[in-house]
Structure 1
Amino acid sequence: MDDVVSHSRKPVVCRYFAASGTCFYGNDCQFLHNSIPRSSISPTFPIHLFSSPSRSANSTTASISTELSLSIIEIKDECMHKAQELSISPDIQTAGESNSSLFEENVGGTTYYYTPEDDIKPNHEDLTIQNHGGQATDKIAHTAVLSRRIQSPNQLVSTSQQPNHLFSVYSGPSSFLLSCTGQQRSSFFMNEDIRADLIQRNSVALLTSDPALFPDLPSDVDHYHELVPLETHTLNQAVKSNTYGLITSTYKASNSKTGMRYCLKRIHGYRVTSAKCMSMVELWRKVQQCHLVTLREAFTTKAFGDHSIVFAYDYYPGAETLLTKYLASTAPHLDPFSSDPSAPRPYTMQKNRMLQQQAGKGVLPESLLWSYIIELCSALRSVHSAGLAVRALDPSKVLVTSRGRLRLCGGGIFDVLTYDSSSSNVSALIPHYQQEDLLALGKLILALACNSLLALQRDNVPTSMDIISKNYSSDLRNLVMYLLSTPQGSRAKNIQEVMPMIGARFFSQLEAATLHADYLEDQLARELDNGRLFRLLGKLGTVVDRPELNLDSTWSETGDRYLLKLFRDYMLHPCTDDGRPWVDLAHIVACLNRLDTASQDKICLTSRDQQNVLVVSYAELHQCLETSFNELQQAALAPSHVLGASSSNEQ
């Protein structure tokens, strides 16, 4: 019987059948009895986070990308059917001749208008997007849903088009990333390891000091405040630095002018004799390199109760030195006057045996060691090209940040401390210091390769080179030999000569860095629209259910705000047919995207008491939100006397 009357039915879904699954008109109803239950919409996110029991079985057989596209299409189509059922044509009051194409029905005092047209005319809206410079604008056509039709109860055909720059969904990682990084599945969120690393860094950056532990710590040092000690020995007493030969302390501090955090290196009890030494600080400020901790400024202060000089560097939260990461276990054995009778003494066979045991526990992978060599050579090349020398290439002065990135720190301190104002040529000794940098680089590589600082002892060098020969390639051994060798004659060593020794390994490092950049770009794409959607939710939250505005307690319950309140319920508080909460993040994201782009798609909004039913488009809701939020901003920025005058007038 359905086949006999199907040709005379209007291509609009029967609202009685869509609401309850039955229609008292039966087969004589002139509308379609094909409904799209919400239970057919699959969740697009992990089941344990956003899922409904009625939909968990439907989501296990489809991929994430398929679920997302299907869910969005189904949500759009459901909203479109409701809009076709309940939409009121704007031409009813202005064009009387168009009434013949509308069908009117009055139910419970509410008049509903239906149209037999199942194709929606495309509505183009010009959006002007201005670039950051404010000089060029692009006209971008915003196209609404085109030509949607239901062919069967289980088949949906949609040719909807949305502007890609405004309404986008993460499409999953590229195939080459899957093969290179070993990812097995797509996810719509940032990798948990990266998230944990960033959270850890933010937590370290926000740490504050306990005044009970540091009662003598000043609250302000020049234009820096919120000082936090970064060295554990600061709790007990100041310790003399083995590198500089002076008592030093390191702090984290915030700049009062910019709000940015910096690392302050304080030299205790040092009085600057000549202001000319600050010219070296200016030279170091110009050296900008990705493997070098940039020196920002240096100043003298009496805030600590003495004459101190403070060097301000860029701050990298959570960084550790090569000494603490790889060589801390061997550092105590460097003291030849240790009170421990079992401690090895210098120049003994016991020290050689301990060195071999230390190397036998495991050495660094050669690929990682070459990566460190390339990064250190890159930093030295930039410093030497600027006519400067590091002079502090020590394991305690090389920071290890995220993913094995090395950064040299402490640049410029030696230049200020040893500045000779009486010398006519302060740069005369720079070539000599650069040769010392190359020697220090060779010692650092030797210590890392042998996994022990004892490898730097003169009597242990032959044993250390044997360890390198057994565990690493001949190229690494030749590089260490070159750096530790004494220049022959007048020909000095040069950092540029290290590049041929690195050879093709430089390209491996470049490929790894490029791949990691692609990986981070993919992680960024996952979180691309989060900030935009959060701002939109923030604007919506400031308007909806506001207690009062300008002493008007009914402001949020009238006019445009009432529509936004109903939209909030439609987006965040939907329920299934049997009254259970329907939690689907894809529905929320789709609603916010349509609201932000002012889509012409229409939705049916119902009040909580079921007495009011409104059919509006996302474009109208977008205009309501902008108008209400602008009104809110004007009230927030209005002078206090204007608000007082308005309140007195209302009284």
Structure 2
Amino acid sequence: MKPHSAGSDLNSHISSNSTPINTPCRNILIHGFCKYADKGCIFTHDLTKPSVATTMPVETTKNIPSQPKSAPVASPLPLSKKKFNLKTPSFTPGGTDLSGISKPLLPPKVIKSTSFVTSNLLASKSVSSFDFQSLPTFTPSASTSEATLDSSVASLAIESPALPPSPLNGHSIHMGNITNFPVQYQLYAPEAMSIPIKPNERLVHDYFMPSELRELLLRKNEVCFQNIPNSTFPPFVGAYQSLMPLDISIDKTRLDFGYTTWLYKALSNIDGNFYSLRRIEGYRLDDLSPIDVVMDNWKNVASPYITNIYDCFPSNQFNDDSLIFVYDFCPLSKTLQEYHFLAKSPVNEQILWNYVVQILLALSSIHKCGLAARIVDPKRILLLPGNKVKLNSLGIFDVMDFNTNSATIEELQQKDFQDLGFLLISLACGSSSAPKQPEKSLKFMSTVFSDEFIRFITCLIHTETTNISSKQLISQITPRVIDFFRKSQYSQDNYQLELCKALENSRCFRVLTKLGFINSRSHNGLDKNWSEGSIRYILSLFRDYVFHQVDENGNPVIDLSHVLECLKKADAGTDEKVLLVSRNEKNCFIIKYTQLKECIDLSMEDLSKI
């Protein structure tokens, strides 16, 4: 309540009603004293006397009859002039006796709910110390859809509610670590769009690499970094380490090149790249001169359809005499035998023509250098993603038969063409024994394949008498070669387009990293307000302009195209102007992207000087 006013208000009140009433003065109740007690305040200042106001509602105090004039006026208490009076009774609210409270203060639903107790705590009342060595090893399955939790882990699993969809259409930042289990590639793929979009609209993944290409590259990286912990393989074989077997089955009775062979993936200590090592077990080479000659011959062969040979050396790291050949490592590759004969993958004439063009181009490069492949066999031809083939294990026969081979190079080259014809027959018939009866196999193939394909295979298997060259064979299938290069050019253009996207993303990442170093930095050396002063304040406003915009309703604006456009302009330093407004709308700047780029560069220079 507002205290009584002094002067005329008080005099008029006393003159109109000078009879004291038995009502406590509110100045006493509020302030502990009344400075008008000696100046004619008509209210009682003795709180020890019972008053009518304490037993009657406030609104009825207006009708209380005035006391007779002979009634003595209560003398005021000798209160101090201080604002707070120590004699004021302490505040004691009604019903403060808490001793009789027996009901709990929590809601009934919370009291009735059972507390969460894990299954291993229910088994024993005492909780022992955590022993991580006693936990079972987690071994996930090859497929993420078939992966199951261990029973001990599943007992602790709590079902969590589904997260809302990401505003960036499923794209999330993923930091890849080398793990011993397959990466969940579905985390990289965008969510499928169920609503059709307009031609002028774009999705988030339109700005980035396609999901199929991204998954392919991730799978290649995963294969490259796979290793075997606690491996029994030699730690070093020549200049190579971290050996990883690439053979599907371990069969020592299988003989390639007349010996038991093994294939490994290894890391080079010289250049840090991955290579494949072909080991010829039990082969002893006393004279190393054939290695030098063969390596000098094959280093001049350059073709994208062969695995280049880099080195050859004997080794006793496997506790025996072995000969090691070093080739390019092709991740996610399979031999034609594994893909078509073991996996029973279907084949058609278009796929076979694709194989023919690539193998002929590889043979053309080899024969031009005066060499022969001698390995046109489904077990030694690799198939890469995208139906690309490579001739593998080149030069092995040249080293092993260096002193015993009596055939001329022309005969060996004609044998390459004949082996190519037998390879096509076996792939077309789906049987490795089909080349043993070529005429019968060609008759069967004539019911499925075109006459052009049959005539070409017939020409290949009879090259011993015709003595044809690779150039003549390529001229016979010129339309097929043109069609192959046309598709290759389309694929090259597509990869170049995706490379341009990666180039733009790297630009944005550099600018974004610089802004992350500069903005909201608590201190820089002795300056605690470094990020909010001078030109850094403009960069903080630019950050709000790029990432913290809101619409007219105050909702956040999540526009990826706006972010990419601003970051690219800041990286290029264009002459376009931008309006930057502070959050309290008291500061406003019109600045060019050129000046913003200068601010970023100067701020980074200041950071680098610390």
Give me the TM-score of the superposition, normalised by structure 2: 0.63
Give CA-to-partner distance per residue, 1:215-240, whole Å, 9 cap, x none. 3112322222232221133xxx4635
**1:442 matches 2:421:** yes
Q: Which residue of 1 aligns with 2:401?
A: 418
Q: Is the 8 A contact 1:363 1:449 kept in 2?
A: no
Which structure's residues are more often helix, by fraction? 1
- The reply on whether 1:574 has 2:549 as its aligned counterpart is yes
Q: Is the 8 A contact 2:334 2:383 kept in 1?
A: yes
Residue of structure 2 equivalent to 1:263: 276
2:410 to 431, 441, 445: 431
Matching residue within 467, 472, 480 for 2:457:
480
Match of 1:277 among 283, 290, 309: 290
* 1:292 lines up with 2:306 in the alignment: yes
- Give the distance between the partners of 1:191 and 1:271, measured in 2 at CA: 50
Q: Does 1:217 align with 2:233?
A: yes
Q: Is the 8 A contact 1:209 1:229 kept in 2?
A: no
d(CA) in 2 for partners of 1:208 and 1:546? 41
Are residues 1:227 and 2:259 paired?
no
Q: CA RMSD in A?
A: 3.0
Distance 2:196 2:422 in 1: 57
User: CA 1:496/1:192 → structure 2, altered by over 3 Å: closer, same or farther?
Assistant: same
The structure showing larger relative contact order (alpha-carbon pairs under 8 Å, at least 6 residues apart) is 1
SS in structure 2 opposite 1:487? helix
- Taking the aligned partners of 1:593 and 1:258, their CA distance within structure 2 comes to 35
Aligned to 1:397: 380
Say whether residues 1:494 and 2:438 are aligned partners: no
Deviation of residue 500 (structure 1)?
Answer: 3.9
CA shift for structure 1 position 633? 3.0
Instruction: Give % identity.
Output: 30
Match of 1:510 among 470, 485, 488: 485
Say if 1:281 and 1:416, in contact at 8 Å, map to a contact too: no
Separation in structure 2 between the aligned mates of residue 455 and residue 605 of structure 1, nearest angstrom:
76
Q: What does 1:176-191 align with in structure 2 at a 5 Å threshold?
A: 187-191=206-210
- Work out the number of aligned pairs and report it: 421
CA distance in 1, matches of 2:351, 2:211: 24
Deviation at 1:485, TM superposition (A): 2.7
Contact 1:571 1:588 in 2 (8 A): yes
Inter-partner Cα distance in structure 2 for 1:560 and 1:510: 54
Offset of residue 627 of structure 1: 1.1
Distance 2:526 2:314 in 1: 55
Contact residue 238 and residue 249 of structure 1 kept, 8 A: no
**Structure 1 residues 281 and 206, CA, compared in 2 at 3 Å: closer, same or farther?**
same
Task: Identify if the C-alpha distance between structure 1 residues 270 and 562 changes in structure 2 by more than 3 Å, giving closer, same or farther.
Answer: farther
Which of 44, 52, 64 matches 2:200? 64
Which residue number in structure 2 is paired with residue 536 of structure 1? 511
Q: 1:449 to 1:506 in 2, by over 3 A?
A: same
Q: Provide the secondary structure at the position in 2 that maps to 1:403.
A: coil
- Which residue in 2 is equivalent to 1:143? none
- Aligned counterpart, 2:351: 368
* Structure 1 residues 632 and 527: alpha-carbon distance in aligned structure 2, compared to 1, 3 A threshold: same
Partners of 1:588 and 1:265 in 2: CA distance = 50
Q: CA deviation at 1:47?
A: 8.3
Supply the AA of the counterpart residue of 1:201.
K
**Equivalent residue letter for 1:313:** Y
Equivalent pair of 2:266/2:274 in contact (CA under 8 Å): yes
| Contact kept in structure 1, 2:255 and 2:261, CA below 8 Å | no
CA shift, 1:548, in A, is 4.2
Q: Does 1:316 align with 2:293?
A: no
Q: 1-side partners of 2:238 and 2:598: how far apart?
A: 50
Q: CA deviation at 1:618?
A: 2.3
1:196 aligns with 2:215: yes
Q: What do residues 401-449 of structure 1 show as CA deviations (whole Å, max 9, x unaligned)?
A: 12111110100111112222xx8xx896322322321221111011111
Shift of 1:478: 2.0
Instruction: Provide the rounded CA distance (Å) in 2 between the counterparts of 1:417 and 1:588.
Output: 62
Larger-gyration structure (1/2): 2
Output the CA distance in 2 between the equivalents of 1:289 and 1:427.
27
Matched to 1:208, the amino acid is N
1:559-608 per-position Cα deviation (integer Å, ceiling 9, x unaligned): 33333223222211222232211100121112112211223434343444
In structure 2, list runs of 5 or more residues that go unmatched. Answer: 1-165, 172-194
Q: Post-superposition shift, 1:496?
A: 3.1
Partner of 2:580: 605
* CA 298–559 in structure 1, closer or farther in 2 if over 3 Å, else same: farther
User: Among residues 318, 330, 336, which one is paired with 1:304 in the alignment?
Assistant: 318
Q: What residue is the counterpart of 2:444 in the other structure? A: 467
**Do the aligned partners of 1:277 and 1:416 also contact (CA within 8 Å) in 2?**
yes
Distance 1:427 1:497, change over 3 A: farther
Q: Deviations over 1:450-484 (max 9, x none)?
A: 1221313x3x4333112211111222222222222
Change in CA separation of 1:243 and 1:482 when aligned onto 2, cut-off 3 Å: farther
Aligned partners of 2:167 and 2:196: how far apart in 1? Answer: 10
Partner of 2:156: none
Letter in 1 for 2:260: I
Gaps of at least 5 residues in structure 1 are 1-44, 51-58, 69-169, 171-185, 331-361, 636-651
Contact 1:261–1:315 (Cα < 8 Å) also in 2? yes
Partner Cα separation in structure 2 for residue 550 and residue 271 of structure 1: 67
Q: What residue is the counterpart of 2:58 in the other structure?
A: none
- The structure 1 segments of at least 4 consecutive aligned residues displaced by more than 6 Å after TM superposition are none
Equivalent position amino acid for 1:303 in 2: Q
Q: What is the identity, as a one-letter code, of the residue corresponding to 2:247?
A: E
Higher strand share: 1
